[in-house]
Structures are given as structure tokens and as C-alpha cells.
Amino acid sequence: MQIIIVGCGNVGSTLAEQLSKEGHNISVIDERSDILQSVVNNSDVMGIVGNGASYSTMKDAGIEAADLMIAVTDSDELNLLCCLIAKKAGNCHTIARVRNPVYKREIGFIKEELGLSMVINPEEAAANEAARLLKFPSANKIETFARGRAELIKLTIEEESVLCNKSLKEVQSELRSKVLIGIVSRGEEIFIPDGNFVLRARDEISVIGSTRDMIAFFKRIKMPTAGVHSCIIVGGGETAYYLAGQLLSVGVDVRIFERSRERCKELATLLPEALVIHADGTDKDRLMEEGLTTVESFVSLTDLDEENIMLSMFVHSLSKKAKRITKVHRAGYEDIIGSLDVGSVLYPKNITAERIVQYVRGMSNSFESNIETLYRMDDGRVEVLEFLIREDSPVLGVPLQDIRLKKGILVACINHRGEITIPSGQSKIAVGDTVIVVTTSTGFHDISDILA
């Protein structure tokens, strides 16, 4: 597809990189020539220096032939204006990043009047991700497939776990669970394991299965499956506001630490059921007074990555059972954080970019691809894809044991009319099924790409 991206910040550069890798023709617009040049150097894209809200700049980027325009600058108003101009000039699909909560309350009207295809709020998206993790506190990360019927859940194996020092065959024999361990991350190494693979302490595993079977698996390995009942949030920004609202709606006790007295007053008015504390979140004594050692979850959402990381590690030194979520903005910290125990990490730029990319894949599916869902994991070294099976597919009706697959590929799950199954060698794929594939290769667009 022909795609134009306005804005070369964290989200824009991440989108340019991901979408160009997936074979789309990308043009990027930004007024900052140095930042634009960096994106052009790192990705196979065309760069245009200029104002994305300018009709002439849009024409230079090819708006008249574009299928989609994505506006992700730091200004909500500029993003909305870009979408309006793109819609009038090219009649293409448009996506806008909009952060102001005032606009959220009017988003239905804005979408309809401007003809927007999608509106994404980074703070709300990050809060949604955090809320999902707090509903399933054993998980480091949760991804969904098959329209929510199947899940991929990442968790870390502790030394006392029933999984530790056992092969996957032993695990299956003892637990008789209907889930699949599809990826194992051990230090810098990534494995797509077979039955003889032995799990070790500190391995991070990715488990795939239906929601029902996933809950049963977690119960059998004696890990909690119920959501948290209490939460301390440090940082009272918009992400904290959206997250607290979700938690309060399901009866979670919420305490918010915020430095600004004015913001505390706002939050107390907006969230009357929450306890809003005017204090520095790094104040150890105040944290202890508010029950840090007994709270079930701790979410650090300040604007300082270093403070969030430090707080998360401090909490872990006091309470090994508290679920921790750490917000990190800076892309360069990903490699460093991998070696630290900071719980689940929220990367707002990645979450926002991933939501937009999912929409693009849905559009692309109607053109040339049959990818329903795609997640890149472990620094892009592993992809988990969900393919829609069409009538001309070469895998139709053939037992999996008779299909020759490329090296580094695992058929992890089949969704047949809403029924999620972990396939065996005798399993066959039918028209209309979706198939979840785990691979260490990249660039797949069709289920036939997995064949040797």
C-alpha cells in the first residue's frame, strides 16, 4: 500500500520502520530535516521536509495516490488538520494520534465529521495494556489472537516453579494442559523449543492457547489467575487517570502519588473513589505509610524513565509478590532493561505503533496479504502471525505431519469457527480457519510462505 506518515517522533519512526519492513511504500513528512534524515537512513522510506498540513507538501508526498495517511505529530490539532486535508485531497483512509482528554469525550463526533478511520490515544492505549496485565498478574505481557479467543502470555519461570528443570514432554505429561509453550527466551538466546527442550529458572516463556485453557494451565502451575485487589500508582498523568478509572470500575483499591498539588485536586475531582496523595513517589517513608509492603500491584508512570525503573526495583526489594509495571519512553533503554528485574514494561510508543500497524494489516488483508494479526517479539527476533486460510491455500486438508515447513517455524494454534485447538500431526486446516504461526524468520505475507 501507499502510506504517508506525518511526524518523525518515536511513534512515527517506529511506524516507518515496521511498515516498510512489511513491504509498504512509505513517505514520511517532518519539518525537522535532521530527524527526517535519520528515519530515511534507517528505513526504506522517502522523506519530505515540510509541514504535513500543507496541501502542496501532501501533493509532493503523493497524497492523490495514497491508500492511507497517518498523522502522529505532537500536536492533536495538527494531526486532525492533516487528516482533513488528506481526506479532501486524496480521499484516503486517515489515522490521527489524539491525546487531549477533552477530545476523547467528543471523539465520535470528530471521527464522523472528519471522516477518520481511526483515532489512537497513546496514554489510554498504555493504560489499557496495564489494566490487562493487572487482571492477569502472573503475565509479563499479553497478546491476543482470533478476535480475543486465543492469547499469547509471556511469563518468567522462577526457581520454585513446577516447570523448572523439566522438559516440555515432561510438562505435557504431568500437567496434561491444552496450551503450547512456543517461545523461550534465555538471556540473549531465543528458542522455538521441541519436546526435549528443558526449561530453566529465569527463562521467559511464551504460552499460547485459548483463554479458558490458559487459566487452567496457570492454576496447574500454581500461579495466580485472579486480578489484583489493590494498586499504588506513582505519577498522576493521563495514563494514571485512565488506568485508575478502569481499576476502580472493577473494585480495585487505588492510591495515586502525585507531586503537583493542582493535579492532585484535579484527580480527586475526576476520581473521587481513589485516594490521591500529594507526595513525591520516591519518598520511601510515605510509600511505606501507604502500604507498599502489602499492596498487590505497583505501577510507576512518572515522566522520568530512570525514576520509574528505580522505583520498580526498590519495590521488588521489599515485596517479591507485588505485580510491577514500569513505563519507559526512551527507545535506547530496551537493551539495558532486559537485564534488570523491573516487572512488566510499558513502551507507549510501541503500544501506539502496534495498534496502528494492526489496523494497517487489516487494510492490507483486503488487498494482497492474508495476515490477520502479527506481533514482533524479543527485539524483533521472533514473529507470531495469524493467517486467514482461503480457498486457494496449499495447506488445505493436508495433515500437518505431511506439510514440509521451513526451518524455525512452529504451527502453534488453529482457530476453527471459534474453537481454539493446539494442533497435532494429524490436524488438518480448513477454509476460513485462522492459523497462528511462530517463526524466527520475517517477511511472511501468506500462509504459503511457511512451506519449504
pLDDT in tens, 267-280: 999 999 999 999 99
Residue 236 CB: number of other CB atoms within 10 A? Answer: 27
What is the model's pLDDT at position 338? Answer: 62
pLDDT digits (tens, 9 = 90+) for 199-236: 999 999 999 999 889 888 998 998 877 889 999 999 99
pLDDT digits (tens, 9 = 90+) for 271-325: 999 999 999 988 989 999 999 999 999 999 999 999 999 999 999 888 878 899 9
Q: For residue 163, what are the CA distances in angstroms to 84, 135, 139, 188, 283? A: 54, 23, 15, 21, 38
Amino acid at 349: K
Domain architecture of the chain: domains with CATH: 2-120 (3.40.50.720), 136-220 (3.30.70.1450), 230-350 (3.40.50.720), 363-450 (3.30.70.1450)
What is the model's pLDDT at position 85? Answer: 93
Does 366 score more than 60 pLDDT? no
Distance CA 190, CA 188 (A): 7
What is the model's pLDDT at position 300? Answer: 96
Q: Which helix (H) or strand (E) holds 238?
A: helix 238-249
Global pTM? 0.81
Angle between helices 122-135 and 238-249 (to 10 degrees): 40
What is the model's pLDDT at position 368? Answer: 60
What is the model's pLDDT at position 329? Answer: 85
Mean pLDDT of the region 424-445? 88
Q: For residue 206, what are the CA distances in angstroms to 192, 196, 383? A: 10, 17, 12
Q: What angle do CA 212, 351, 12 make, to 5 degrees?
A: 155
Query: In the chain, what percentage of residues exceed pLDDT 70?
Result: 97
Distance CA 223, CA 114 (A): 47
What is the model's pLDDT at position 365? Answer: 60
Burial 325-354 (b: 16+ CB within 10 A, else e): bbbbeeeebeeebeeeebbbbbbbbbbbbb
In contact, 56 and 31? CB cutoff 8 Å:
no
Question: Across the chain, what does the average pLDDT equal?
Answer: 89
